[in-house]
Amino acid sequence: MVTKLKPSNLTWWSSPAKLNLFLHINGQYENGYHQLQSLFQLLDYGDELAFEINESGLITLADPIMGVPEEDNLIIKAAKLLRQKAHNPNSNKLGCTIHLKKKLPMGGGIGGGSSNAATTLLILNHLWKCGLPNDAIAELGLSLGADVPIFVHGNSAFAEGVGEKLTYTSLPSTCYLVVFPNCHISTAEIFKDPKLPRNTPKIDFSEYQFSNTKNDCEKLVCERHADVAMVLKWLLEYAPSRMTGTGACVFAMFEQRKEALDVQALLPNNMTSFVANGVDSSPLHNQIQAQNLIV
């Protein structure tokens, strides 16, 4: 087997994970989309992306993701969509090879694909000199997925609507142990299930406490996937815990990183997990500001 060497001069850009600290489904719009409330917590852990710009007009992924056709990959979709909207007279020549260091599990409910799309939009907007403001980029991102705008704007936030109405917030310093039960969960299938609760009353965010919220998808996912139920039950023995998004990842909350690491060490060896700090500002945006990029 030949290992492909990556160019040594690549700049790697963060593509952080997120958690839904709670997820309430308040109703359903006529177009089928669900009305929800959620609290997005950004993490200091995630994938990384690098971009080699060229004038070939071709957009390719140097590191294909097994089981995901290129035409379905959100990274490729984001790049092509941005190019269509670029304020650049030579947009038809804009091309790139995109490199990916994948750490986040797919189908985990921690925003890996959405975050990849947001990083692609933000960085290529600069490298391709597209000239789009952040609000326009977020609007493009929303057409790719409801979670993309949170990564475009880069702040932990209270979300309403379909996830696009964001109120930025500062959250207490917390360390999270995130466990992936090694099963893939289809968001579309969960949201189509007639047993999914769709009438949770709205809350005022000023009254938010973790203990008085829930994840409306959690019970349904646990009924369908015994591995998720098992991990959640196990973590609850050690700390406040919950499933994020539509799963499959489950997180536990700790005040100290050492506590999270101690519990992680008790996990079975076949469990995929990581420990990360919650952050109010995206690591990607911190990189962008440090390099004085205008995106």
| Three-class SS of 205-228 | HHHCCHHHCCECCHHHHHHHCHHH
User: Which residues, including other chains, have CB under 8 Å from residue 4's CB and lie 6 or more apart?
Assistant: 62
44 counts as catalytic? no
Catalytic residue status for 195? no
Q: What is the DSSP string of the chain?
A: -PPPPPPTTPPPEEEEEEEEEEEEEEEE-TTSPEEEEEEEEEEEEEEEEEEEEESSS-EEESSPPTT--GGG-HHHHHHHHHHHH---TTGGG-EEEEEEE--SPTTSSS-HHHHHHHHHHHHHHHHTT----HHHHHHHHHHH-TTHHHHHHTB-EEEETTTTEEEE------EEEEEE-S----HHHHHH-TTS---PPP--GGG--GGG--BTTHHHHHHH-HHHHHHHHHHTTTS-EEE-TTSS-EEEEESSHHHHHHHHTTS-TT-EEEEEEEESB-HHHHHHHHTT---
Point out the catalytic residue in the list 6, 18, 258, 280. 18
Instruction: Out of 47, 77, 147, 216, pick the active-site residue.
Output: 147
Cα dist from 272 to 20, 132, 233, 255, whole Å = 19, 38, 16, 22
List the catalytic residues. 18, 147
